[in-house]
Each structure stands twice: as C-alpha cells, then as structure tokens.
Amino acid sequence: MSNNFRVLFVITARGGSKGLPGKNLREIGGLSLIGYKANSAQSCKYCNRVVISSDDNSIINEANKYGVEAPFIRPKSLATDQASSDSVISHLIEWIEEKENDSYDAIMLLEPSSPFATNDHYTKAIELFIEKKASLVLGVREIEIPSVFASKIEDNNSISDLVEKIGDLNSSRRQDQKPEVTPNGALYLISWEEFKKTQKIYSNPKRSYGLLMSRLNSIEIETSEDLAYARFLVSNDYLDINDWLEVKSD
C-alpha cells in the first residue's frame, strides 16, 4: 500500500445549527463532537493534515485545541442552511490550490454530527479507495426496514402502494430481504481530481463504494434526543470512548 497517497482530512462545522443550537460544541463523555472527529482523524496513519472549514470562531477555537488547523474562515455564503457540501468542498480545493499551491489525492470530509467513526474506519475507507481506484467511499449503515416495506401515505390515508409492493414479494418476512444501506454521515472520502472535474461529491456511481459501519458507530446527533441517547450509551458503557479521548498512532 502506497504511503505516498495524500489525504486531506477536513472537518466541516458551521455555527448556525437550528435543530440543536451549538451542536458541534456539545460534549459526550467530556469530549466535544469536534474533539471526536479531530482525535480520530489524527490517529489515522494515512492522515497528512487535518483542517476545519467553519464560519464560527468558537468552533475554530475548539478545533485548534485539538491541533486542527483553520487556514481560513468559511465565507458566510457557505454557512447557511442552503449551502451544500459540494460548495464547501469546492471552496476548500480552490483555496488550497490558489493560496498554498498544493493539492491532495483525496479529501476525507468529516461531519461532527456523526462522532463515532474510528481511525480504523478511515484507514479501511482509504485502503478501499486505493484498491478500487474509487471516486468516492462513503460511510454507510444498514437500514432497519428494507425499502420494500416503506411507502408514502396518501392524503386520504391510503397505503395502496405499500400493500402492492408487499403483495408482490415471494416472502413478506423482513429477514428474507437483501440488506440495504444508507449514508451515515460519518465519512466521505472524495477524489480531489474527480471533484474538480464535476464539482459534485456524488458524481460517478460506478466508482463509488460503501464502508459498512455498525449501528452504534453510525449514530448521528441532530436533535437533543439524539444527544441524550448518545450520552446514555456512553455513560452506560455501550460505547467505549477511550479510543477517542487521546490521539493514538496506528
């Protein structure tokens, strides 16, 4: 495996979370969501550098505590509810290339709202990326309910579409359906050059791969209830957070 493969880890965290105000600075087991991402990133043997893209000085200061660089302050136009991850990555690449005259093989985009990815997950994602010559490796989790058992409900409460889908199955047992996955927000490993060509994270389906992660490692913090649940799991030892409390070398 080539150690010349250069990965820029970037933590993306804006200040204006509405679902859970101050979300990225909230703590679980004494460590902020920013801290979880910073420590796990710096523990990965393929991590060349960790930076933060944020518009918020409090978030930047928190990231700095963990040795994360803040080479710029994200423009306010990229810190709204409407700003896309595509636009944030585009700004990052443009800044690095123009201001530092540098580039990387890939970007590992990390969202603090999914704090429980480990350095081992990042290592596996990067090795899968190299092996498959991928354009994207995405953290995914298995969904609890296969899509064949999900449907819209009409204004008149009709579930005809759902009943039709289930009725066409050879077996209506959930355990007989093939596993399906959904993004868990824990990691997005993106080809630098592919993104420059397309300006999109989701650009090349045939060269996109998923890294399957457990339900606990896939927990996302979007509401106060999510935060309380994560704190419950940690305080009751369902999740051992020792791997995140200190930067460790692989």
CATH number at residue 125: 3.90.550.10
Quick one: 205 and 170 in the same domain? no
Element (DSSP H or E) covering residue 244: helix 242-245
Residue 186: burial class (beta carbons within 10 Å; 0-12, 13-18, 19+): buried
At residue 146, the pLDDT reads 83
Same domain, 105 and 11: yes
**pLDDT on residue 250:** 41
| Nearest CA-CA partner of 186 in 205, 212, 204, 209 | 212
Do 113 and 171 share a domain, yes or no?
A: no
Q: Are residues 153 and 103 in the same domain?
A: no
Kindly state whether residue 2 falls inside one of the protein's structural domains: no
pLDDT of residue 248: 52
Range of the domain at 57: 7-143+180-245
pLDDT of amino acid 249: 43
State the greatest distance between any 2 C-alpha atoms of the chain, in Å, as a whole number. 59
Write down the pTM of the prediction: 0.90
In a domain, 101, yes or no: yes
31 plus 119 within the same structural domain:
yes
Burial grade of 231 (CB within 10 A; 0-12, 13-18, 19 or more): middle
The ranges of the chain with pLDDT < 70 are 1-3, 171-176, 247-250
Residues 48 and 18 in one domain: yes
Place of tokens 């679980």: 28
My answer on whether 156 and 234 are in the same domain is no
Total of domains in the chain: 2
Same domain, 130 and 188: yes
Q: Which residue has the tokens 């305080």?
A: 235
Final residue of a structural domain among 179, 200, 235: 179
Query: Chain-centre distance of CA 153, in angstroms?
Result: 30
